Structure formats: C-alpha cells, structure tokens
Amino acid sequence: MIPVRCFTCGKVISPAYDEYKRRKEAGEDPKKILDDLGMERYCCRRMFLAHKEIIDDLNPYQ
C-alpha cells in the first residue's frame, strides 16, 4: 500500500495514488501526472516514483 503521507514533509499523498497508477498504466509521462496532481516537492514526487505495490502479491497468503 502507498504510504499515507510523504515520509519527509508529511503531506497527505495517498489519495492521489489511484489516479497516478491509472494514468501511468495508460502510458502517460510520470512528470506530467505528478505536476497535474499538485506534487510540487521532490520528496513527495519520489513517494510515487519509488513505490512498488505488493499488496496483491501478499493477499493470497494469510
């Protein structure tokens, strides 16, 4: 799961992740998506760029 807030500045970033993921899968440039989502600082931007979603891999195991 994407962290709720940016590790560095504390901005609540997670609500933007659904849109980021959808648009990135549609082949859009991450720079443009992050600009549109209002992610101004590089600390918040790296939260998206460096995130790897593994919840779907974990879900089969209990």
Q: What does the binding site for another protein look like in residue numbers (CB under 8 A)?
A: 1-2, 4-6, 9-12, 14-15, 17-18, 41, 55-56, 58-59, 61-62
Q: Backbone phi, then psi, for 12, in 5-degree steps?
A: -75, 105
Cβ at position 14, least distance to another protein in Å: 5
CB atoms near residue 51 (< 10 Å): 16
Nearest-approach distance from CB 11 to another protein, in angstroms: 5
| Count helices and strands in the chain by DSSP H and E runs | 4, 0
Q: How far is the CB of 26 from another protein (least distance, A)?
A: 20
- Tell me whether residue 32 or residue 41 sits nearer to another protein (CB atom): 41
Q: Hey, what amino acid is at 48?
A: F
